[in-house]
Amino acid sequence: MMFLCLAAIWLTGFGLLRWMFPRPLGWSLHNVLLFSLGIGAGAGVVSCLYFLALVLAGPNFTVLASLTGGVAIAALALGLGTRRQGTLLAWAEGPQPPWYLRGLFLLAIALAVTTFLVAVANNPHGDEGAWSIWNLRARFLFRAGAFWRDAFSTDLSWSHPDYPLLLPGIVALCWTLAGHESTDAPIAIAFLFALGTAGVLTGVIGVLRGKTQALVGGTLLLGTAGFISLSASLYSDVPLSFYILAALALLCLQDRHPEDLRFSALAGLMAGFAAWTRNEGLIFLAALIVARVVAALRFRDRTGPAALAPQMLRLVAGMLAPLAVVMFFKLRVGGASDLWSEKPALILQHLADPGRWIILIEGLVVVFFGLGRFLIPMVLVLALYLYLVRFRVEERDRRTLAAMGIALILSIAIELVVDLAWVDNLPVEIATGFERMLLHWWPAGVLMFFLAAGPLQLAAAEKPMPKSKASKKALKPSRRPAETR
Amino acid sequence: MIALAAIALCSILWALLDILGAVSQNQVFGVAAFENRFNEFRKTVQPHSVYGYLSDNLPNDPSALPEFYLTQYTLAPAIVKPTTAERLVIVNFHDNKPDAKLLRANGLAQVQNFGNGVVLCRRIQR
The residue among A209, A374, A378, A387 with the most chain B CBs within 10 A of its CB, best to mutate, is A374
The residue among B7, B19, B43 with the most chain A CBs within 10 A of its CB, best to mutate, is B19
Per-residue pLDDT at B68: 95
Q: Over 80: is that where the pLDDT of A470 sits?
A: no
* Beta pairing partners, A453: A391
Task: Give Cα separations from A429 to A239, A432, B33, B108 (angstroms).
Answer: 21, 5, 29, 37
Task: Give Cα separations from A228 to A40, A191, A224, A410, B11 (angstroms).
Answer: 17, 9, 6, 26, 11
Distance from CA of A20 to the nearest CA of B (A): 34
Cβ atoms of residues A30 and A59 within 8 Å: no
Cβ atoms of residues B9 and A108 within 8 Å: yes
Per-residue pLDDT at B23: 81
A181-193 pLDDT, tens digit each: 999 999 999 999 9
Per-residue pLDDT at A273: 97
Per-residue pLDDT at A327: 95
- Mean pLDDT computed over A151-179: 94
Q: How confident is the model at residue A146 (pLDDT cuts 50, 70, 90)?
A: very high
Residues of B with CB under 8 A from a CB of A: 1-16, 19-20, 22-23, 28-29, 31-32, 47-48, 50, 66, 69-70, 72-73, 76-77, 79, 81
The whole-chain average pLDDT of chain B stands at 90
A332-386 pLDDT, tens digit each: 998 777 777 778 889 999 999 999 999 999 999 999 999 989 999 998 998 888 8
Residues from chain B that touch A105, judged by Cβ atoms under 8 A, are: 5
Of B4, B16, B28, the CB nearest to A123: B28
CA dihedral A202, A252, A191, A215 (to 10 degrees): 10
Q: Over 60: is that where the pLDDT of A438 sits?
A: yes
- Give the lowest-confidence range in A126-140, A300-314, B68-82: A300-314
CA dihedral A227, A228, A234, A238 (to 10 degrees): 40
Alpha-carbon gap, residue B106 to A481, rounded angstroms: 78
Q: Over 80: is that where the pLDDT of A477 sits?
A: no
Per-residue pLDDT at B83: 93
A374/B31 CB distance under 8 A: no
B14-43 pLDDT, tens digit each: 999 999 988 887 666 688 888 999 999 999
Domain ranges of chain A: 2-338
First to last CA, chain B: 74
CB atoms within 10 A of CB A344: 8
The amino acid at residue A427 is P
DSSP assignments along A406-469, one per residue: HHHHHHHHHHHHHHHHH-S-HHHHIIIIIHHHHHHTHHHHHHHHHHHBPPP--TTTSPP----H
Per-residue pLDDT at B29: 60
Residue by residue, what is the 3-state secondary structure of chain B? CHHHHHHHHHHHHHHHHHHHHHHHCCCCCCHHHHHHHCHHHHCCCCCCCEEEEEECCCCCCCCHHHHHHHHHHHHCCCEEECCCCCCEEEEECCCCCCCHHHHHHCCEEEEEECCCCEEEEEECCC
**SS3 (DSSP) at A71:** helix
Of A104, A122, A145, the CB nearest to B47: A145
Q: Over 80: is that where the pLDDT of A443 sits?
A: yes
- Which chain B residue lies closest to A127 (C-alpha atoms)? B29
Alpha-carbon gap, residue A206 to A267, rounded angstroms: 18
Percent of chain A exceeding pLDDT 90 equals: 71
Q: How many CB pairs under 8 A join A and B?
A: 139
Q: Over 90: is that where the pLDDT of A404 sits?
A: yes
Distance from CA of B83 to the nearest CA of A (A): 11
* Nearest alpha carbon to residue A148 among B48, B70, B73, B49: B48
- Mean pLDDT computed over A110-138: 94
Could you tell me if A140 lies within 8 Å of chain B, comparing CB atoms?
yes
Alpha-carbon gap, residue A389 to A330, rounded angstroms: 47
**SS3 (DSSP) at A158:** helix
Cβ atoms of residues A485 and A390 within 8 Å: yes
Q: How many whole angstroms from its chain centre is CA A451?
A: 17
Considering all CA atoms of chain A, what is the largest pairwise distance in Å, rounded to the nearest integer? Answer: 79
Task: Give Cα separations from A350 to A82, A245, A357, A420, B119 (angstroms).
Answer: 57, 33, 9, 7, 43
- Which chain A residue lies closest to B31 (C-alpha atoms)? A125
Alpha-carbon gap, residue A15 to A21, rounded angstroms: 10
B4/A385 CB distance under 8 A: yes
Report for A127-131, A192-196, A208-212, A368-372: range of highest mean pLDDT = A192-196
Of B8, B20, B47, the CB nearest to A143: B47
Nearest-10 crossing angle of helices A442-452, A211-222: 150
- Name every residue whose Cβ is closer than 8 Å to that of residue A17 and which is 6 or more positions away in sequence: A34, A37, A38, A41, A79, A266
- CA atoms lying within 13 Å on the CB side of residue A347: 12
Cβ atoms of residues A127 and A234 within 8 Å: yes
Could you tell me if A100 lies within 8 Å of chain B, comparing CB atoms?
yes
Of A108, A139, A229, the CB nearest to B8: A108
Distance from CA of A19 to the nearest CA of B (A): 36
- Which chain B residue lies closest to A131 (C-alpha atoms)? B73
- Which chain A residue lies closest to B9 (C-alpha atoms)? A223
Residues from chain B that touch A119, judged by Cβ atoms under 8 A, are: 19
Of B5, B20, B66, the CB nearest to A118: B20
Q: Over 60: is that where the pLDDT of A483 sits?
A: no
B14/A375 CB distance under 8 A: yes
ipTM above 0.95, yes or no: no
